[in-house]
Chain A
């Protein structure tokens, strides 16, 4: 029987399945729990070596069109990759460079800028991050203004709670050009006056970026005369978010697997604790959250890849569901693991901490619920 190409099918293609299994084995081989714990405790922070482990096979080029030296893959392809990274969870500027940064460049970059930068990104030689949020932690607001001199721009101020900038070679820094025009500046991470301050606490990969009279050449402003900045940034974010969701979903899957395994292995009162209905309740809630997040995310990815008009609301739905799922799946796992789960060496807390960190990254569930309703035009 010949499959009808238009019939519904939620499975991955053969190539996608191969991509998934290759990365899954790479992640479990190169990033065992102890390596991830050492990276987290900063005993052995993110380095070029850990970057190279993942990039040597060319995955950094997945979203980059072939004319710029990339593979011209779909967002769904990228999501499959990131879902596997989330299973670690593998930390580092992978999302910020190969997805968010890349998509921003594709949206706003002039032809010259794209031709110059995208091949470098594809080859994994340049690693970029986005320094955008400020003291109110609202990605719709920028207070920092770029002051213009005859030959350069000058940036002053602090970008707060910036995600995954350690290990980047360049940063896209946002600053106002006019009240309604946002400048996106590509700045070398080691520029004089730019200081990255890692932040401690119950979060992963968060830093402040201090800009003290940073002088940057005019050519570092991304885009052209007609660029608005906000429009292109948000278009890129909309495409990037479901890939971030996939990364969170990978983390959820790993936590779910860990929880089921433990519930079957751990005996109390003479039976595996998975026999107890109260324990089952936690695990059932996990799979319900996980499936809702996965289906909504892949539907959003499909809509974006196919250019469907309703993609926008699907993206908000996916991020609202996924952030909540990630948070609650980790909580449920702690309930099942009890004391064991809070031991750092066990590895669960790497996921828990990540679930908190990404909960509000580019909008918490409350924000996306509001945006969802708006985009539905009810």
Chain B
């Protein structure tokens, strides 16, 4: 056994190349605000610029095939890129592009050759940023209950409806949307996926007022929007995976959403920041970090962080060695969500009101700790609630299926 992620000599050279390249290519003044809601338009444009530059090297979506705009690289090489980006507080992609991640994965599996060659390069080369449009007022945990309709009408689909908890600030070129293509049809047999250019007539959106916008595994989102569709015309070529086959397509990519969190291998930011605060803040003359009762809470934070790391080490190993990921994906996702919530409480137990304040002088770690307090609550829901993660895990573990003979449809 070997728990260390080891790099071959070639990969070590690659790491040096990435490091040097980033020194030369990191846009000046790239932003990393504690609250992503404060990302300026200029800051967003710099993230996109970095995306373009990375894509020219095949490093934006490194593990995708070269022929579609990816880098054709291994999970280890992708990890190396993320490790080096981490030093600049950036990740892959450097902007919120969760729709792109999911759409690309689904198009790889379900797209026609033509769709792959048209849509994939634009996502993988960072020419477009894609929002995911899944959740609706009546379709949260019960995603199959999508009410937004896409009705075929010659060589177009006419789309009407509303999506919530969408995207980020500063707009998007595309969205990746699930819609109901057969309103009278069978549950799980009436949904379809579309790539939707966001500049089509009839699409409007407005920001939601949330305590934090959250993220779905990737760059943080500054805002979430409500997106409205009024008689929007989508070409039939933009349907991915076949009409009414949306549930099968969703299965492919929700698995991706629930399993790939490379970032967790790079260290626990909240733990690092809490430790920093404990070194600086004092109680009765001593730094907090020297207080045994605080060390006890720090141990809890550290243990939780280690469990998250180990779960992700295993996923990285399974992926790198081409093995199947089963319950381990939702398990790691569940652990991260729960860790965030526990960490918020532990951090407040340690720092008291300092954990809650957003103030130039008083906030430890530039306000990142206050943002984590709000963010940890929000983190419980995107990409499926905690209950949904448990449900997926239970299915993967075969719970409630006493014998194969009576096996369920899923």
Interface presence of A203 (CB below 8 A): yes
Closest chain-A Cβ to B229's Cβ sits at a distance in Å of: 19
> In angstroms, how far is the closest chain A Cβ from the Cβ of B246?
17
Indicate which residue in B282, B349, B374, B380 contacts A202 across the interface (CB closer than 8 Å). B374
Interface residue stretch chosen among B105-113, B266-274, B356-364:
B356-364
Name the distance in Å between B19's Cβ and chain A's nearest Cβ. Answer: 37
Evaluate contact between A356 and B284: CB separation under 8 angstroms. Answer: no
How distant is the Cα of A273 from the Cα of B391 in the complex, in angstroms?
14
**Residue of A201, A267, A327, A341 touching B356 (CB-CB under 8 A):** A201
| Chain A residues near B208 (CB-CB < 8 A) | 343
Is A291 an interface position by the 8 A CB rule?
no
How near does chain B come to A205, taking the closest CB pair, in angstroms? 12
Taking CB atoms, residues of chain A closer than 8 Å to B358 are 199-202
B345 at the interface (CB under 8 A from A): yes
Question: Contact check: which of A136, A206, A208, A267 meets B283 at CB < 8 Å?
Answer: A136
CB distance from B174 to the nearest CB of A (A): 23
Residue A83 is within 8 A (CB to CB) of chain B in the complex: no
Flag whether B22 is at the interface (Cβ < 8 A): no
For A345, the closest partner residue in chain B by CB is: B209
Measured between C-beta atoms, what is the minimum distance from B22 to chain A in Å? 34
Given A161-B353, A201-B357, A342-B212, A352 and B381 contact (CB-CB distance below 8 Å)? no
Judged by a CB distance under 8 angstroms, whether B201 is at the interface is no
- Closest residue on chain B to residue A338 by CB atoms: B381
Q: Is A74's beta carbon under 8 Å from chain B?
A: no
Selected interface stretch from B65-73, B116-124, B137-145, B317-325: B137-145
Beta-carbon contact of B142 and A342 below 8 Å: no
Q: Is B359 in contact with A202, judged by CB distance below 8 angstroms?
A: no
Is A181 part of the contact surface with B, judged by Cβ < 8 Å? no
Name the one of B210, B362, B373 contacting A343, with C-beta atoms under 8 angstroms.
B210
Which chain B positions have C-beta within 8 A of A136?
A: 282-284
- Bound together, the chains give a CA A53 to CA B14 distance in angstroms of 69
Specify which of B341, B354, B378 is in contact with A137 (CB 8 Å cutoff). B354
Q: Are A331 and B283 in contact (CB-based, < 8 A)?
A: no
Chain B positions 382-402 with a Cβ under 8 Å from a chain A Cβ: 385-387, 390
Please measure, in the bound complex, the distance between the C-alpha atom of A279 and the C-alpha atom of B142, giving whole angstroms.
14
Q: Please tell me if A360 contacts chain B, counting CB pairs below 8 Å.
A: yes
Mask for A261-299, Cβ within 8 A of B = 1, else 0? 000000111000100101100000000000000000000
Are B284 and A342 in contact, CB atoms less than 8 angstroms apart?
no
Kindly state whether residue A307 has any CB partner on chain B within 8 Å: no
- Tell whether, in the assembled complex, residue B387 and residue A356 are in contact, meaning their CB atoms are under 8 Å apart: no
User: B374–A364 contact, CB under 8 A?
Assistant: no
Q: Chain A residues with Cβ under 8 A from B63's Cβ?
A: none
B387: chain A residues within 8 A (beta carbon): 276, 278-279, 335
B303 at the interface (CB under 8 A from A): no
A326 at the interface (CB under 8 A from B): no
Contact status A199-B362, CB under 8 Å: yes
- Pair B210/A344 contact, Cβ less than 8 Å: yes
A137 and B353 form a contact (CB under 8 A): yes
Given contacts A331-B377, A359-B348, A360-B352, contact A160 B362 (CB under 8 A): yes
Q: Collect the chain B residues with CB atoms within 8 Å of residue A33's CB.
A: none
User: Which residues on the B side are within 8 Å of A359 (C-beta)?
Assistant: 348
B 321-375 contacts with A by CB, 8 A: 341, 345, 348-349, 352-354, 356-359, 362-363, 370, 373-374
Which chain A residues (186-214) contact chain B, with CB distance < 8 Å? 199-203, 206, 208
CB contact under 8 A between A200 and B380, given known A206-B353, A338-B140, A366-B349: no
A199-B359 CB under 8 A given contacts A206-B353, A276-B387, A344-B211: yes
Is the C-beta of A110 less than 8 angstroms from some C-beta in chain B?
Answer: no
Interface size for chain B: under 10, 10 to 19, 20 to 34, or 35 or more residues?
35 or more
Total chain A interface residues with beta-carbon distance under 8 A: 39
Whether B211 and A339, one on each chain, are in contact in the complex, defined by CB atoms closer than 8 angstroms, is no
Q: Which of B233-272 contact A (CB under 8 A)?
A: none
A268 in contact with B142 (CB, 8 Å): yes
Given contacts A136-B283, A161-B353, contact A338 B385 (CB under 8 A): yes
- Report if A60 contacts B (CB, 8 A): no
The answer to whether B349 touches A334, judged by C-beta atoms less than 8 angstroms apart, is no
Q: Of B210, B377, B380, B385, which is in contact with the most chain A CB atoms at under 10 Å from its CB? A: B377
Given known A199-B357, A200-B358, A202-B356, contact A339–B135 (CB-CB < 8 A)? yes
Cα(A203)–Cα(B345), bound, Å? 14
Residues on B with C-beta less than 8 A from A268 are 140-142, 145
Q: Which residue of B lies closest to A268 (CB)?
A: B142
Chain A residue nearest to B382 in the complex (CB): A339
- As a 0/1 sequence over residues 331 to 357 of chain A, the CB contacts with chain B under 8 angstroms (1 = contact) are 100110011011111000100100011
In the assembled complex, the CB of B1 is this many whole angstroms from the nearest CB of chain A, namely: 36
Question: Nearest chain B CB to A156's CB is how many angstroms away?
Answer: 18
| Docked pose: A357 CA to B348 CA in angstroms | 10
Q: Is the CB of A364 within 8 A of B352?
A: yes
Chain B residues positioned under 8 Å from A201 (CB to CB): 356-359, 363, 370
B214: nearest residue on chain A (CB-CB)?
A342
Cβ of A274 to closest chain B Cβ, rounded Å:
13
Q: Contact mask B274-296 → A, CB, 8 Å, 1/0?
A: 00000000111000000001000
**Alpha-carbon separation in the docked complex, A352 to B356 (Å):** 12
The interface residues of chain A lying within 8 Å CB-to-CB of B362 are 160, 199, 208
| Cβ of B64 under 8 Å from chain A | no
CB atoms of A335 and B385 under 8 A apart = yes
The one of B138, B140, B283, B359 in contact with A200, judged by C-beta atoms closer than 8 angstroms, is B359
Q: A202-B370, A342-B211 are in contact. Are A364 and B349 (CB under 8 A)?
A: yes
> In the complex, what distance in Å separates the CA atom of A331 from the CA atom of B209?
19
Q: How far is the CA of A338 from the CA of B164 in the complex (A)?
A: 13
**What is the minimal beta-carbon distance from B90 to any residue of chain A, in angstroms?**
26
Fill in one digit per residue for A154-197: 1 if any B CB lies within 8 Å of its CB, else 0: 00000011000000000000000000000000000000000000
Task: Given the known inter-chain contacts A342-B378, A344-B209, A344-B210, please indicate yes or no for A356 contacting B356, CB distance below 8 A.
Answer: yes
CA distance A160 to B142 in the complex (A): 46
B165 CB-CB contact with A under 8 Å: yes
Which residues of chain A (121-164) have a CB below 8 Å from chain B? Answer: 136-138, 141, 160-161
Q: How far is B358's CA from A229's CA once the two chains are assembled, in angstroms? A: 33
* Cβ–Cβ contact B209 & A343, under 8 A: yes
Report the minimal beta-carbon distance from B365 to chain A, rounded to whole angstroms: 13
Q: CB within 8 Å of B: which residues of A?
A: 136-138, 141, 160-161, 199-203, 206, 208, 267-269, 273, 276, 278-279, 327, 331, 334-335, 338-339, 341-345, 349, 352, 356-357, 359-360, 364, 366
A-B contact pairs, 10 of them (CB 8 A): A199-B357, A199-B362, A202-B373, A334-B380, A338-B381, A339-B140, A339-B165, A344-B211, A356-B373, A364-B352
Q: For the A-B complex with A278-B390, A343-B209, A345-B209 known, give 10 more contacts whose Cβ atoms are closer than 8 Å.
A: A137-B354, A199-B358, A202-B358, A202-B373, A203-B353, A267-B138, A331-B377, A335-B387, A339-B165, A342-B214
5 smallest beta-carbon distances between A and B, as pairs:
A268-B142, A201-B358, A161-B353, A203-B356, A201-B357
